[in-house]
Structure 1
Amino acid sequence: MADRQITVVGECVADAFVEREGARPGELALRVLPGGGPANTAVALARLGTPTRFVGRISADPFGTLFRTHLTGSGVDLADTVAAAEASTLAVAALDGDGRAEYSFHAEGTADWQWTDEELAPARQDGSVCLHTGSLALVRDPGGRRIEDLLAAARPHTTVSVDPNVRPLLVAPDTYRRRLDRWCELADLLRLSEDDLHVLLPGTAPEDACDRWHAAGARLVVVTLAERGALASLDGERVRVPAPATQVVDTVGAGDAFTAGLLHSLAAQGHLGGRLDSLTSADLERACAFAARVAARTVAVPGANPPWAGDL
């Protein structure tokens, strides 16, 4: 077992982007790319060189074939991925003038949320230094509660990382608010975007939000701030890093890429595997700066297409 392996649990989503050019009258042209926050993070981790295992429920439909090809082609281990009978989740995305995606989801009864405890059992103690999850798989039932149970069972053996990746059009914000304290109890690392913060705690400054989530149990809280970089708070000690100057094509997958860069750097520095007890502010700043570079390379190309290590 690789001593820096990270396990990612969660969904794959088919991101269907509206093509504004090329459609004939009376048609809607879509370009489908593999996505889903956890799957994006797994791909980015593997491309950076971190041994990565993805535990997901992947359909046998054409979208599922796309997901498997994308993940394995990026070097992700799918040995514990479930072959699901249900259909894949589909998100239709339209980009605004700033490259931000507005989604509509087709997710009822799809493969990603139908977890059983038996399907998740291989991820409980697989030798990984970190277990990362979040997004819709953690909040949608019946699977979300079972993933919470997985985090509780795995926590004595590994660092736990959570990215809520709030989707208010699909899940009511109050549902996230009710469950976030429990996620903070289970997580060593909580990574959110500024957009997530605005939904969860409207009008709250990032620093105050970090303190609130520290009090709930998360030692390390990182809030990504788009073109303003990122704020990281380790037990209340703040670190800020700028965002590299970048020509933005779209922002799809930027937060997932940041999370992957952060986890990759923390693993390479030897800080994963426990409660982040050896992490210093200098090491955290180094990790966040690297993560910002990974995210910058991702927003410079269409879709969730994170860089390979050699690209950096």
Structure 2
Amino acid sequence: MTRPGSAGSVTVLGECVADVFEVPGRSGPDGLALRALPGGGPANTAVALARLGTPTRFLGRFSHDVFGTLFRTRLSASGVDLTGSVTAPEPSTLAAADLDATGQATYTFYADGAADWQWTDHELAAARNDDAVCLHTGSLALVRRPGGSRIEEHLARAREHATVSIDPNVRPLLVEPSTYRERLPHWCAVADILRLSEDDCALLVPGADLEEACDTWHAAGARLVVITLGGHGALASLDGVRVTVPAPPVAVVDTVGAGDSFTAGLLHRLAVLGHLGGRLDGLTLEDVAAACSFAAQVAALTCSVPGANPPWADDPALRGRTARGVPRHEG
């Protein structure tokens, strides 16, 4: 456990993805005008954590292609430590994003044979960092083979000295939801923190309400479950005791990277409060509410600008954030 006020370091393990958008008004019959922005759930979380002031190390497999260079540049410019990352011969993962009128994004992925999924046991062993207070992972790198099963084993070893955080980030266009459902109990057995979206829950536990879903994942081993609800805020459940936190009002440009920024805000605030580094012993519902409130503000600021561009610690909207949530249910 870290001392309150000292964030400790967080390691993020997972993929980078090039989010490709059509440039409005620039396309014509001769072709599409496209813009590629660096993204990928774990990479977005690492960028947001570092910008908030948490010492952050990212473990990724960067292609030697132009997108791999883009990913490295963005992460380094945000202050992320890339020690332990791998330069890989395979291509980068691409996601073509289609935004609706509300800024919600849907994706078409180009991911077969990409660098992100090819982790070896040797690479992961070389990347181990026993000084980190938290290891965060999830999304496609955790579920796609062959690397996913090796990352699961890496989590079990990391749990000996660090808090483990997982965001499944279900992508049904690439991986059948049944695969996530099969693996989720195993992830909960090693995870201290499980962060999901409401849409993830609908795919993972169809027909169940959110509180039932939380209890299922608590029973499997996760102590803290946080479900983000878009513009309605978040529901957090600590060992079955719940709190809801509202989302701050925001003029949404798009929602790309909002969930990843929420995760970063949550982990950052828990680290500052001294709760990372073990099994969340001493964590209170009041601290959970404060962390989720801060995380919701970070996510809102990300929604206010194009793409996954999370705020920096000196953003005026983040200063003095102490709002607390409202208890919902005890049991």
The normalised TM-score by structure 1 is 0.98
* Residue aligning to 2:13: 9
CA contact (8 A) 2:130 2:161 kept: no
Letter in 2 for 1:109: G
Tell me, in whole angstroms, the C-alpha distance in 1 between the residues paired with 2:7 and 2:98.
41
CA contact (8 A) 1:3 1:128 kept: no
Partner of residue 248 from structure 2, selected from 228, 244, 249: 244
After TM superposition, the structure 1 = structure 2 runs for residues 7-46 of structure 1, keeping only pairs within 5 Å, are 7-46=11-50
Runs of 4+ in 1 over 6 A off after TM superposition: none
Q: What percentage of residue pairs aligned between the two structures are identical?
A: 69
Q: Secondary structure at the match of 1:182?
A: helix
Asked if 1:290 is matched to 2:294, the reply is: yes
Residue 305 (structure 1) shift: 0.3
* Residue aligning to 1:79: 83
After TM superposition, the structure 1 = structure 2 runs for residues 174-213 of structure 1, keeping only pairs within 5 Å, are 174-213=178-217
* Residue aligning to 1:301: 305
Letter in 2 for 1:49: G
RMSD between superposed Cα atoms in Å? 1.0
5+ unaligned residues in a row in structure 2: which ranges?
Answer: 1-5, 319-331
Asked if 1:261 is matched to 2:265, the reply is: yes
The aligned length equals 311
* Residue aligning to 2:219: 215
Asked if 1:92 is matched to 2:92, the reply is: no
Asked if 1:120 is matched to 2:124, the reply is: yes
Letter in 2 for 1:151: L
CA contact (8 A) 1:101 1:252 kept: yes
Letter in 1 for 2:31: E
Partner of residue 165 from structure 2, selected from 142, 149, 161: 161
Letter in 2 for 1:27: G
Residue 3 (structure 1) shift: 6.6
Residues 204-224 of structure 1, C-alpha deviations (whole Å, 9 max, x = no match): 211111001001110000000
Residue 126 (structure 1) shift: 2.8
Residues 103-132 of structure 1, C-alpha deviations (whole Å, 9 max, x = no match): 000000010000001111144343100000
Residues 211-265 of structure 1, C-alpha deviations (whole Å, 9 max, x = no match): 0100111000000000110000000010110000000000000000000000000
CA contact (8 A) 1:124 1:153 kept: no
Query: Which structure would you say has the larger RCO, counting Cα contacts within 8 Å and 6 or more residues apart?
Result: 2
| Higher deviation after alignment, 2-11 or 107-116 | 2-11
Tell me, in whole angstroms, the C-alpha distance in 1 between the residues paired with 2:30 and 2:96.
18
CA contact (8 A) 1:34 1:67 kept: yes
Residue 60 (structure 1) shift: 1.1
Tell me, in whole angstroms, the C-alpha distance in 2 between the residues paired with 1:173 and 1:104.
16
5+ unaligned residues in a row in structure 1: which ranges?
Answer: none
Q: Secondary structure at the match of 2:194?
A: strand
Tell me, in whole angstroms, the C-alpha distance in 2 between the residues paired with 1:147 and 1:3.
24
